[in-house]
Structure 1
Amino acid sequence: MSKILSVRDLHVSYGAIKAVRGISFDIEEGEIVTLIGANGAGKSSTLNCIAGLFRPVGGEVEFKGQSIVGVKPHKIVERGLALCPEGRRVFTRMSVAENLDMGGYTRSDDENAKTLEVVYEHFPRLRERVGQFAGTMSGGEQQMLAMGRALMSRPDLLMLDEPSMGLAPILVDEIFSIIKELNKLGTTILLVEQNASMALSIADRGYVLETGTISKTGTGAALLHDDDVKRAYLGG
């Protein structure tokens, strides 16, 4: 495996508030890596910064060996890195088809036609609701749409921010099954997830964030059985 993402001494601030305080981590091609931690630990801030939604106040982010600090978000997508944001953020007054079209704006029509079929294979309910307004869909269906929209750019690295938030347990299982399948087909995954048990159960490696710093790292299996992690995040 080769390194696809490298984060070094990353600092993210909102005015006087320091959200991320000098974290460093790597992701190898083909891995599932998860960031777990309490609300406000800096997980989403890390993903948003990597995606180019705002600049770090310090540190470096390299994707496929090249710096992406200061690169426009749409250019980062073109390079093969996509973010499925927290809260889904689908275009509620647009149809399923229109939302998916927005996800493929960096690709040609021919490429999008092929990718659309792949998305429908993973999310058959989207095909069934192709003309439906996104705002009238259930939370689980909107999450599938948000993930499908991100996949339309054919990312090499897909970042998922809280994909199970607000979903019924049966839908959580379905979403995580899809994440594992996407990874098996070659997509590298960076996962932020409040459901630490589910995240660690599918992750190759994990990082525990506390108040903007990495407090612990290890394989998913090791963290799943770590006493400190159990007490803090797994209800053990």
Structure 2
Amino acid sequence: MNTILKVDDINVYYGAIHAIKGVSFEVNEGEVVTLIGANGAGKSTILKTVAGLLSSRTGSVQFMGKDLGGIPAHKIVPMGLALVPEGRQIFLQMTVEENLQMGAFTRPASEYDESIADVYQRFPRLKERQSQIAGTLSGGEQQMLAMGRALMSKPSLLMLDEPSMGLAPILVEQIFDIVRELNQHGTTILLVEQNANMALSVAHRGYVLETGKIVATGTGAELLEDEAVKKAYLGG
């Protein structure tokens, strides 16, 4: 099994605050891997570090065998790594289609038509609303747009930061169905998610974070049955 992402002993600070403490993990090609933990455990900080938005004082982040140390975020995207950020961060004043165009800026123009056709096939709702201003979409539609925009860059690894945040339960189900489907069609996914139950039910493997450290790891099924995990994160 090919390791697509290898994070080794990263330590990330916000000023004097030691947010990530010696974290190591890996994601293999074709997997859904999830990072779960309480608010403030460091999940989003890890994704931002992998994406090149934050830097680690130690260790390394390797993507497809290349060390990402010192590479700026906008140069990491064309290497095949896309982040769907927490809070979606879509361009609210632009149309749906203009948002998707922004996601394709690293790709050759010749691939655009095929990429947008793929996204519209996966998210028919976006096709219906292609000329609508993104700020007028519902929360679920905005999340689909954020995911569609990331997919326009044809990523080998898609990182999702809290995709279910603020969504009604029925929409959460929909978003996780999309995550499953993307993975079944070959997209490798690193998922950060507050809803540990949903995350572990779609994940091949998971890592549990507490105050910046990994405290447990296992398959999604193992962690769903783990008594300590149940107690802390699954309302058991």
TM bin (shorter chain): over 0.9
Q: d(CA) in 1 for partners of 2:115 and 2:153?
A: 8
Residue of structure 2 in register with 1:119 after alignment: 119
Residue of structure 2 in register with 1:15 after alignment: 15
* Deviation of 1:33 (Å): 0.1
Matched, 1:57 2:57: yes
Q: d(CA) in 2 for partners of 1:57 and 1:15?
A: 12
Matched, 1:232 2:232: yes
Residue of structure 2 in register with 1:40 after alignment: 40
CA-to-aligned-CA distance 1:20-42 (integer Å, 9 cap, x gap): 00100011100000000001100
* Deviation of 1:17 (Å): 0.7
Q: d(CA) in 1 for partners of 2:23 and 2:117?
A: 38
Q: d(CA) in 2 for partners of 1:161 and 1:219?
A: 20
Tell me how many residue pairs correspond in the alignment. Answer: 236
Task: Look up the equivalent residue of 2:84 and give its one-letter code.
Answer: C
Q: d(CA) in 1 for partners of 2:69 and 2:94?
A: 32
Task: Look up the equivalent residue of 1:27 and give its one-letter code.
Answer: V
CA-to-aligned-CA distance 1:50-79 (integer Å, 9 cap, x gap): 000121122100000110011111211100
Matched, 1:93 2:93: yes
Listed as ranges, the gaps of 5+ residues in structure 1 are: none
Q: d(CA) in 2 for partners of 1:223 and 1:35?
A: 11
Of stretches 112-121 and 44-53 in structure 1, the one that deviates more from structure 2 is: 112-121
Residue of structure 1 in register with 2:69 after alignment: 69
**Runs ≥4 residues deviating over 6 A:** none
CA-to-aligned-CA distance 1:87-110 (integer Å, 9 cap, x gap): 000000011011000000001222
Task: Look up the equivalent residue of 2:220 and give its one-letter code.
Answer: G
Task: Look up the equivalent residue of 2:63 and give its one-letter code.
Answer: F
Residue of structure 2 in register with 1:140 after alignment: 140
CA-to-aligned-CA distance 1:100-123 (integer Å, 9 cap, x gap): 000000012221210111111111
Residue of structure 2 in register with 1:222 after alignment: 222
Residue of structure 1 in register with 2:183 after alignment: 183
Listed as ranges, the gaps of 5+ residues in structure 2 are: none
Task: Look up the equivalent residue of 1:212 and give its one-letter code.
Answer: G
* Deviation of 1:198 (Å): 0.4
TM-score by length of 2: 0.99
Task: Look up the equivalent residue of 1:121 and give its one-letter code.
Answer: Q
Q: d(CA) in 2 for partners of 1:135 and 1:19?
A: 33
Q: d(CA) in 2 for partners of 1:209 and 1:109?
A: 41
Q: d(CA) in 2 for partners of 1:55 and 1:216?
A: 24
Q: d(CA) in 2 for partners of 1:12 and 1:101?
A: 33
Q: d(CA) in 1 for partners of 2:9 and 2:65?
A: 16
